[in-house]
Amino acid sequence: MQEGSAMIEEKPKQRRSGGRAARVALRNAPLAEDLRPIRPGLPGGQYKPLSDADVLRIHHAALDALEQIGLSQAPPSGIEAMTKAGAILGDDGRLRFPRALVEDMLAKAARDITLCGRDEKYDLHLTGSNVHFGTAGAAVHVVDLETNIYRDSTAQDLHDAARITQTLDNIHFFQRAMVARDVADSRELDLNTIYASCAGTTKHIGTSFSEPENVPSGIDMLHRIAGGEEAWRARPFMSNSNCFVVPPMKFAEESCLVMEACIRAGMPVLLLSAGQAGATAPAPIALTIVQAVAECLAGVVYVNAIAPGHTAVFGTWPFVSDLRTGAMSGGSAEQALLTAGCAQMHRFYNLPGGAAGGISDSKLPDMQAGWEQGITNVLAGLSGLNMVYEAAGMHASLLGFCLESLVLGDDIIGQVLRTVRGIDVTEDSTSIEAMKAVCLDGPGHYLGSDQTLQLMQTEYVYPTLGNRMSPKEWNEADRPLLIDKAIERKNEILKNAKITFDPGFDAAIREDYKIYFK
């Protein structure tokens, strides 16, 4: 060390160059999964907008709503299953749920579940307050940044979004981000959604079915992809995102039939209640949570009356209205609070839960989009939400999806995950020995110290596209713009991305089905 120090004093320029080279080498070296500063499933729960008394008040109000109001319009098969379990069908056609029934079904509900990826390394372990971020939204437009227009989304766009997701470390799952509007036939739409997603990523995927009649064909395709029904049931890598209710407090008959078919096929389900505060849900944020919780508790009864312990995600997914216009406001502070409050209710029931975060009302990935996506994702992560849906790429209050924004979202979520991880306070991280070495015996700064070099990759997160240049460096680099870099990275990813299937398998699928993407 003394000889090295003497050399450094004699050749300061080499010291700076060598130190920077060492830092660059460390930054580029891959880390073991357990050493990464951020990763899927970091535990959140530090932020709690509701007190314990608030949580109990919401819980009891939800039970009151189920007992006194109930839900209408369940399909006959659902009525049969739920009344057999203990629900009461009134003369008004509404199913009501006694408290004892809800408590019984909560006891049977699946907990500590795993949502599988086709590649096991992408499995999502939904336990406690573990946090995961992914896409969703089923947008009907793509935001084309190279022309600054909104156009109809296609099967190719969906496949491209899946391929990009596969490469992004901080996007942990891929739920259908847009609708393939170039596919008119509903069966072909559902099959292309499945195949475009699976051909693009081996992470866990969420999809929807347009009609109950389409489920068998979709399950057959999933069996082929998995290598047979047994392999599929052992590791179902796709879940059914199911809007089983039409708020307020009504079952959606066709979606319920889809859900029943998916349950029988061994497919995990997302029980999705998506009321809009001030429109299809009450205006008070607390009462909006009450309605969402009540509707999802009805879903818990439904699922477990059919198949006790079936894998399901408690999808309280309420949205906010801008009460001046009635338009949805997915990027608002109220939306962030709604999502965080719902996450607390998931923890209260100890159920795997999901809700919305990261939506922007802005039409383009601009400063508004940045603050909306950042704030809503931070609160979702810090609240310990297991599945943060719509976390990247969503614009215009879910009407538009932007591939470049998906890439930028990976950077945003990386910073969010770092806040979720928090501050590591240990004997080593609070020891003043490093301070002594620098202040009493050393150069008076920590640059290049052993501790700094050891922690620069395990303690700190660096954005891929975020620009931290000085103004001088930025000018010398010809003033690069963030959107241009995002377009460049998107194009680079798509140029190098490969289909996830063997060419022979892909050819066989295309021979048997009409596939709309290349």
What are the tens digits of pLDDT across the range 108-126?
999 999 999 999 999 999 9
- Paired tokens of 36: 């990464």
In a domain, 138, yes or no: yes
Q: What is the largest CA-CA distance in the chain?
A: 93
Residue 6 has a pLDDT of 40
Strand spans (E) along 244-322: 269-273, 276-277, 312-316, 319-322
Q: How much is the average pLDDT of 350-372? A: 97
Pairing state between β 354-356 and 269-273: unpaired
368's torsion region: left (phi>0), alpha (psi -120 to 50) or beta? Answer: alpha
Give the pLDDT confidence score for residue 31 in this predicted structure: 77
Determine whether 95 is exposed, middle or buried from the number of CB atoms within 10 Å of its CB (0-12, 13-18, 19+): buried
pLDDT digits (tens, 9 = 90+) for 419-434: 999 999 999 999 999 9
Q: Rounded to 5 degrees, what are φ and ψ at 307? A: -145, 90
pLDDT at 3 over 60: no
The 10 Å CB-count burial string (b at 16+, else e) for 157-176 is bbbbbbbbbbbbebbbbbbb
DSSP 458: T
How high is the pLDDT of residue 2?
Answer: 41
Question: pLDDT tens, 436-465?
Answer: 999 998 899 999 888 888 888 899 999 999
pLDDT score of 343 more than 70: yes
Would you give the distance in Å from CA 369 to the centre of its chain?
17
Asked if residue 36 has pLDDT above 90, the reply is no
- Cα 222 to Cα 117, 118, 225, distances in angstroms: 13, 11, 5
3-state secondary structure of 117: coil
Q: How far apart are CA 48 and CA 383, in angstroms?
A: 6
Residue of 263 and 456 predicted with greater confidence: 263
* In a domain? residue 403: yes
Pairing of strands 387-389, 354-356: parallel
Tokens 């450094």 — which residue?
8
Mean pLDDT of the chain: 94
Q: At what angle do helices 215-226 and 253-264 cross, to 10 degrees?
A: 30
Position 92: which residue type?
Answer: D
SS3 state at 16: helix
DSSP states of 186-251: HHHHHHHHHHHHHHH-SSEEEE--SSGGGHHHHHHHHHHHHTSHHHHHHS--EEEEE--B-SSSBB
For position 19, what pLDDT does the model report?
Answer: 60
18 — pLDDT class (breaks 50, 70, 90)? low
Closest C-alpha among 420, 411, 416, 398 to residue 45: 420
- Cβ atoms of 183 and 189 within 8 Å: the answer is yes
Please give the C-alpha separations between residue 513 and each of 199, 331, 516, in angstroms, as whole numbers: 14, 39, 9
Burial class (CB in 10 A: 0-12, 13-18, 19+), 304: buried
User: Which amino acid is it at 413?
Assistant: I
pLDDT for position 20: 64
Residue 16's pLDDT band, with cuts at 50, 70 and 90, is very low
Please indicate, yes or no, if residue 228 is contained in any of the structural domains. yes
9 inside domain: no
Does some domain include residue 163? Answer: yes
Q: What is the pLDDT of residue 394?
A: 97
- Residue 470 tokens read as 């000085």
* CA–CA separation, 89 and 97 (whole Å): 9
Is residue 35 pLDDT above 60, yes or no?
yes
**For 161-187, what is the mean pLDDT?**
98
Over residues 91-107, mean pLDDT:
98
Confidence (pLDDT) at 12: 44
Q: What is the pLDDT of residue 7?
A: 42
HSE, side-chain direction, 13 A CA sphere, residue 24: 6
Contact status, residue 389 vs residue 136, Cβ threshold 8 Å:
yes
Report the predicted TM-score, pTM, of the whole model to 2 decimal places.
Answer: 0.93
Q: What is the pLDDT of residues 200-220, one digit of tens each?
A: 999 999 999 999 999 999 999
Domain span holding position 159: 79-421
155 within 8 A of 192, measured Cβ to Cβ: yes
In a domain, 288, yes or no: yes
343 Cβ neighbours under 8 A, 6+ residues apart: 44, 353, 355, 380, 383, 384, 385, 386
Q: State percent of the chain over pLDDT 90.
A: 88
Assigned domain for 2 exists: no
| pLDDT at residue 156 is higher than 70 | yes
Element counts in the chain: helices (H) and strands (E): 19, 20
Q: Distance between CA 437 and CA 459 in Å, rounded? A: 20
Above 90 in pLDDT, residue 292? yes
Q: What angle do CA 457, 460, 464 make, to 5 degrees?
A: 85
| Residues contacting 415, CB < 8 A, separation 6+ | 374, 461, 463
> What is the distance between the alpha carbons of residues 170 and 407, in angstroms, rounded to a whole number?
10
pLDDT single digits (tens) 478-517: 999 999 999 999 999 999 999 999 999 999 999 999 999 9
Which amino acid, 198?
Answer: C
Give me the amino acid identity at 436: K
Euclidean distance between CA atoms 471 and 473, whole angstroms = 6
**For residue 17, pLDDT beyond 70:** no
pLDDT for 4 equals 41
Task: Answer whether residue 108 is part of any domain.
Answer: yes
Rg (CA), the chain: 25
Give residues with Cβ within 8 angstroms of 278, minimum separation 6: 320, 321, 323, 326
Q: What is the CATH number of the domain that holds 155?
A: 3.20.20.480
What is the number of domains present in the chain? 1
The residue with greater pLDDT, 454 or 389, is 389
Output the pLDDT for position 452.
Answer: 87
pLDDT band per the 50, 70, 90 thresholds, residue 11:
very low
The residue among 391, 517, 413 whose CA lies nearest residue 464 is 413
Q: Is residue 103 scored above 70 in pLDDT?
A: yes
